[in-house]
A and B are shown apart, each in its own frame.
Chain A
Amino acid sequence: MSDAVLKVDDLRTHFRLRAGTLKAVDGLSFELQAGRVLCIVGESGSGKSVTAQSIMRLIMPPGRIVQGGITFRDQDLLALTEREMEDLRGNRIGMIFQDPMTSLNPVFTIGEQIVETIVAHTSLSGEDARARAVELMRLVGIPEPEGRLSDYPHQFSGGMRQRVLIAIAIACEPDILIADEPTTALDVTIQAQILRLLSDVQKKLGSAMILITHDLGVVSAMADEVLVMYSGRMVEYGDVKTIFRNPRHPYTQGLLDSIIKLDDSRESELRSISGLPPIPIDPPPGCAFRDRCVKAFDLCGEQDPPWVETGTGSTAVCHAVAAEEAAP
């Protein structure tokens, strides 16, 4: 596939802690097509946010991208200087973070914070930049944008702040929009509005989007492709319809079993995956999910699971799936 805007190849981001090496992301590969939406799903601590920040090269010591390739169009992002990367961030790749309450600098006005991005990446300045900021604020649905330019973050509600952060992220019409659980910290009623806004601007700009979430409902509503992560590793990856219709990895199956479907008959019970995910500090070889897996067998504790192109169209990383595929 040649129109991929982003290729991630065997990404490994590790944190050297006193307790050992935390393998927050350990062997992740995917491709993002222009104009498409990829959802990365997983529990807390599964490495979703670290993946996003690795792509933006925002990982700080003691964390480090130890291996892998990140290719944006034809540029190897890991080979760029910090300067070149700064030119790219907020310009070609925009990012929206989890917690809007702490994501805006409390001592600068909303206007200053939007204008700053515009000035950093375009030739606009002064009045033009302010006009563009007003236009962006209108686009993300902030009422009376002219009057609110000189307000400070504390004068905005959480939902409004997230709109401002979206405005900042799309200020330069980026090729890729990365949204890291953009609605987690918001009221339920606001969540839907923000997701709709994200979807609208993504379509309007024609950007590709990586949406990180732990909410499978959001995935089914927004995603074209889905990537399931578990304990820093990829578990299953593929087209959203394929995976939702035919999940192959036991973890994905467990996840999908744990959500309530409207057409569920009364007798069917809501199932959950028992246990907790392990923290991947110096993880032993083998599959990270094996202790919670219903299909686990000896091999799972001995060897890292293989990547399997399944007959149903997804990629699963699992010994059990490999065995199923191999069976006649």
Chain B
Amino acid sequence: MLAAGRFVLTRLAAVVGVALFVSFVTFFLLRVSRDPVDVVGAARSLDVSSPSVRSELAAELGTDRPLIVQYGDWLSNAVRGELGTSYLDSTDDVAEGIGRALPVNLELVILAQLIALAASIPLGLWAGAREGRWPDKVVTFVATAFVSYPGFALALVLIMVFAVQLDLFPATAAAYVSFFDNPLDNLRQCFLPALSLAVPMIGVYTRVLRSDVAATLREDFIVTARSKGLRSAAILTRHAFRPSSLSLIPMVGLQFGALLGGSILIERLFAFPSGLGTSLTAAAVTADVPVLLGVSTTIAVGFAVVTLIADLVARLADPRIAHG
């Protein structure tokens, strides 16, 4: 128990480290390369060539103080959940904006994980149980192809086939409705985006599960189960699946990162009206530091926490890790 507490504490330190690193790098990169006075001045169509306007604006934004003090300020506010307001629109609260955008990305990530697991668990079991024979070869080949195909490129093919040709799903999610308002429409809008995110994951998970299942099936306790006369299907699902899922669980946790990153692209591609990607890309183009800083740091912290949870689950599933 003590070991587990220590484990959580060191990992929490890592979460803090990552949050500091990401915000620090983002802050200094952006602030050294561009003067916020120019960005805000242009947004308010002020004459930024006049020194008095510049100094007034710098005083208002607080950019006349040393950079490290400004970073410290941002940090102490961020710890309290205050991420400031957008440079372009001072009524636009960054934290509120994230609160509006995040559900879209979370929904896509969760749907994608569900689709990926629903497809890869049967495929991985099937291929692993027939190691070296044709089902294994076919599944492995397809899985490798899936891993190689970037989700955003796949999304275009899916749009072309299922939206343009067959007209089964909408081609964009511009008319996005929340799941809680209209679950059916929401799922129709989110299916193609989630599927494009899920396909590479199907490849990753299937490959991992397949090789673990194949290895498990060579172990003594499986031979015992077989000699007791258990059917292959029962052996697979009751005896082989759990010990074979030990690499899969941390993998699923790790892929939250890749998926959230991917959802930023996919969400832009399907023209969701709001989302972290929409905020990030717009802020990147206009050098809107508070938005970029807030969104990047939120994502970084979110990930580090999800990975930590995934590790904890993996320890619960496999006591050998905790005691090893």
Binding partners A and B: no
Binding site for B on A (CB under 8 A): none
